[in-house]
Chains A and B, each alone.
Chain A
Amino acid sequence: MQEKELIPQLYRTEFRKIAAVLCRSLGIEHISIAEDIVGDTFLLAAETWGLKGVPQNPAAWLYTVAKNKAKDLLKRNSIFSQKVSPELKDYGREGYETDIDLSVQNIRDSQLQMMFAICHPDLPAEAQIGLSLRILCGFSIDEIADAFLTNKETINKRLYRAKERLKQVKAKIELPPESEIAKRIENVLTTLYLLFNEGYYSSSTNTVLRQDLCLEAMRLTHMLTENKSTDEPSVNALLALMCFHASRFEARVDSKGELILYHEQDISLWNNELIKRGEYYMNRAATGYSLSKYHVEAAIAYWHTIVNNDTEKWEKILSLYNQLLMIEYSPIAALNRTYALSKVNGKEQAIAEAEKLNLGGNHLYHALLGELYSSVDNQRAIQHLEKALKLSRSVADKKVILNKIKKLRQ
């Protein structure tokens, strides 16, 4: 493979592995140094491989160089006396083992532990996602800026503050104790779901990047299922949910980057492999005693993979949205529930319930009423759609709404 393509590819797969192990070895106070070491390693690769050719085992080369750089640092710096000596006292070890363990097992363990350190409840959500993308996913600052639709300076500041905060709260790079782990897993899942949604709902026109975000969120969630102490039903439910949503990725957006609504999608573009995987994880999630909101959302997503307009499907979806709202309220769930209600009990009742929702400032509320009033009272439908147009802030959404208004005016 061309050296030019190889290094970016390796960056994507290996940066995060080495970074996780180094962060764990050097400690939470030295995340930046860990990042720098890995960065320098790749720089050296770019310089050397161009001149001397690509090594036999490129990944192993990277690991060796990174290891040596880290070991040098540990020997030279006061890191040794600050971090290591106290530990020597605690564990009574004879000599400090400056060995950086880049075995498959330790890489996996380190990444999982870093996930819990980074998805720390004391960090704002944006910071958690930013740092996850950097350390757990190996995204470059440019890529993260693109994902958040902002600039490098903003991201650099955000990451800096996030790392400082982690130092402040003395976040531990380890799996939380059994008494805390359920709650901490909840935190991690919230962040992973947000990360997934960044990709799924992003207004960025970079389709490849958006798909990457979804896939990364799925990969990280999957990592949790591979470890016994984090393989919870809610984790499997979230993974199922992500699979179902991701299965429609190709069908959701056309070649011009415009949104295609669910009932207008080309079903042949749905990814059946992902649907099957979603079903697999849903089965794994069907254990234990608690029903998480992810279970309910996954079930709803599952029903959306069934293509028909039968009352049974919509009754099930209505029932699921009722349950979801009873677990946790959200405006989106309230609106979707009302839509399902219209499919089961007709538009009149749905309109009556919609008007009790008190979501008049939300463009989706007006879009829903526009939909419900269509063929019932087209004048009011257009009024609501125009309100939705004004309130909406997404170019793609505006296009969809404009189309609807056009159709009603015909």
Chain B
Amino acid sequence: MILIIWLSDWMIPIIILGIVIYGLLKNVNVYEAFIEGATDGLQVVFDILPTLIGLMMAVGILRSSGALEGVSRLIKPLISFSQFPSEVVPIALMRAFSSSAATGLILDIFKTYGPDSFIGRLVSIMFGCTETIFYTLSVYFMSVKIKNSRYTLVGALLATFIGITASYYLALWIFGI
């Protein structure tokens, strides 16, 4: 437990320290490289701004129409055997298809419940350990014209399911509800 908190606190400083020292050892002009990367970083952020406006607007009106609550109320009886919050189910489903739409829903969770709520922490962990399964599979397999993907989809879904379950129990265990 202490190790987990320690790791979270130390991770970013250690990565930064390690990379700067490694860069110096490899004779890289680290400051120049940093500025160059940061410039691209700003570009990336403002390139995704239109997407973010579109999706946050769509999710925003979805929330205000009451449809999001309706969906989670519909899902609730289906997962009533567990304590898993029904608001998170649409996000988990969306995540498999579109990363940016899932981001829109997660930002809505942060806005509604706050990032330090149980749900906020759960979706944060969940987002980090799942991928846009269907998108990735179709891009990779289509690039080499594979039609029969055999057990790849089942394996990916299983791994994602384990990731989501683990996120739930970790959030419960480390932070509590």
Are A and B associated in one complex? no
Point out residues on A near B: beta carbons under 8 Å. none
Query: Interface on B for A, CB 8 Å cutoff?
Result: none
